[in-house]
Amino acid sequence: MYGGLFKGTDWRGVKEVFINEGSGWAEATKAVQKVADMAEANGVDFVEGDVENLVLTLNGDCLGVLTKDGRTFRADKIILSTGAGTAKLLADSAPQMHHILAGDRITAAAVVSGHAKLSKAEYESIKHIPVFDHAVGELLGAVLPLTADSILKFYVDVTLKNTRLHESSGYMISAPPNESDQAQNNFLKSLQEECDRVMKGIFGKIAEDFKFDSFRMCWDGITPNQDFIISAHPRCENLYIATGGSFHGWKFLPIIGEYVVKMLDGKLDADLVKRWAWDRNQKGIAQKKFIPKPEL
């Protein structure tokens, strides 16, 4: 199958293989750009800026957001789709209003991805590769189909967190590094070596000469049971939360907006209101491997 591409894979511990020939893969950059173009065509104005904090009243109601360059944007409804930065943003905005903070509802977590630019011969050797996920034993990782410019994208299925004391609130919070571009390209050598180990465990000899050209830390906000949070904040008037992708939210890009709008309009089905609420029962885990344990 696939031209013997996986004949060198480490199959120890594998009892069965699941193949879904109806699955698909989409390039993120082009998909997001298409959505942005359609939004603009329908009257949406995009404004760029780094958010400093939410603008709150003394009672804790939300009025808008303040950007780092001093601009204030006010609205009747403020929606946070801030992923891995959600917990820190709330703590920065209301450090002494503990009833507004995220607590354990959402945690910043990261996976490591590596990119390898392949030669023409290397490209030809694996050009028919499907999405492949090796999820048993000590070999946890996945590889994506080659891009049009011959880049192999690969990630390790081990999530990390970055827990630090948030001094003004007194809470321990996991958040991406407070550096330019979230320090996405600053890597410990051990993480690079883990990428290489897992990639070669999946491909075997065919990948002996493959070399990673770059690495990236990919952050997301993960909830304890990996369901989304699509909800009004029950203790902060005018504030709404639409986040908690939990490393599987991307596939909902074409349809997720419909549910956010229904939430804003009070028309979301009762079972989804309960399932995606800010305050909810967090029991149940979809994928234990994505719950972060090691610290960055």
Q: Is residue 30 part of a domain?
A: no
256-286 pLDDT, tens per residue?
999 999 999 999 999 999 999 999 998 887 8
Instruction: Place 183 in a pLDDT band, splitting at 50, 70 and 90.
Output: low
Domain that holds residue 214: 2-11+51-290
Q: Is residue 25 part of a domain?
A: no
Q: Is residue 42 part of a domain?
A: no
Question: Does the structure show a pLDDT above 90 at 76?
Answer: yes
φ, ψ for residue 107, nearest 5 deg: -125, 140
Q: Is residue 187 part of a domain?
A: yes
Q: Is residue 231 part of a domain?
A: yes
Specify the pTM.
Answer: 0.91
Q: Is residue 165 part of a domain?
A: yes
Q: Is residue 252 part of a domain?
A: yes
Q: Is residue 226 part of a domain?
A: yes
The average confidence (pLDDT) of the chain is 91
* Domain total of the chain: 1
Mean pLDDT score, 201-217 = 88
Find the CATH number of the domain harbouring 120. Answer: 3.30.9
